[in-house]
Amino acid sequence: MSALVGIEHPTATDIRADPGDWGIDVMVGSLADSILIWQSKYFYDKLGDSQKKQIRESFASAMTHATTHGYAVDAWTLCVACEVSAPEKKWWDTKVREWSKLYPHVQFDLWDAPRLRRKLMSPEAHPVWAEFYGPNKDILEARKTGSEPAPVAAPLSLDETPTYDRALFVRQMTVAGISEMDAQRHAYFNADLLVRDITARSVPAQLAAIAEIDAVLLGSWEDAVADPATAPNAENYEPSARKLFSAVMKETRGVVAPVELPLRAIHTRGLMHRIVEDARAGWVHDWRDVAKRVDSSDPGELVT
């Protein structure tokens, strides 16, 4: 984040927690005078109650430490890696109005996923994009000499996995009677991060590889639905759905990824969940109706 902020503010720097960071992720200015703060929150799914609590605590920490250590906060910018819904945006706008009454000298801003994408797409941000999302420098150098190394399997995220309470892929598993979902959520989380990264890189070979894997996975699901042994039905609603789920997920283990994008088994499993999240597949026989109900329901009704 400091690299992105540094495009407009060359003196931007990160603050190391030792043991705390005074409520500062990235700052510009002087801790002996006044500063601008950027607070990063790695929320990939939503701004739920727990996320809102973290945001409130971060702002409170920033202002408390400013008072304790004798400097002013001129601006506080929240950075989140997700798109916000209308209710979430209203919550943020309401909090800004509330905070502005308490701290009229502080300017507030929100960098959500669309804002962050636009910033990374600007010509000025190209060096930042190349450093964090572009082709690996070692690979570029190897290509020049004709000794490109073998591709390395896509990495896994160590960040905390979101609950995805309102996600369609979770709802589809719930109606199928599947209750143990921690690994499924983790697989979706890593696959979603991977696809976002590949989309940002826009490397044609990798985009084609993702499209190929998507087609293979969807084809495996269609084959399983067509097989009477694994097709879901109304008579054995949940058992037949779980049988389909098990058959399809076992097939994901054998998917061979193109050489342009070596994947781990968790990524291919997660990519299957992304197909379900896109309402292109499901587990119960009336999965399309489930998708329609989720699309039209109040988000609060979908918490599992």
Q: Give the pLDDT band of residue 141 (cuts 50, 70, 90).
A: low
Residue with tokens 């799914």: 45
Per-residue model confidence as pLDDT tens digits over 207-262: 888 999 999 999 999 999 999 999 999 999 999 999 999 999 999 988 888 777 87
- The pTM of the whole model exceeds 0.85: no
Inform me whether the pLDDT recorded for 127 exceeds 90. no
Inform me whether the pLDDT recorded for 32 exceeds 90. yes
Helices 204-226 and 265-277 pack at an angle, to 10 degrees, of: 70
CA nearest to 282, candidates 202, 207, 208, 225? 225
Q: Where are the domains of the chain?
A: 2-130, 149-302
The pair of structure tokens assigned to 202 is 């826009």
Separation CA 94–CA 111 (nearest Å): 16
List the beta bridge partners of residue 76. 37, 108
Mean pLDDT, residues 69-82: 95
Residue 283 to residues 81, 106, 188, 211, 247: CA-CA distances in angstroms?
29, 50, 16, 22, 11
DSSP H helical segments within the chain, as ranges? 2-5, 49-69, 86-102, 113-121, 126-132, 137-145, 168-175, 182-201, 204-226, 237-252, 265-277, 287-296
CA nearest to 115, candidates 142, 69, 79? 79
Mean pLDDT, residues 47-64: 94
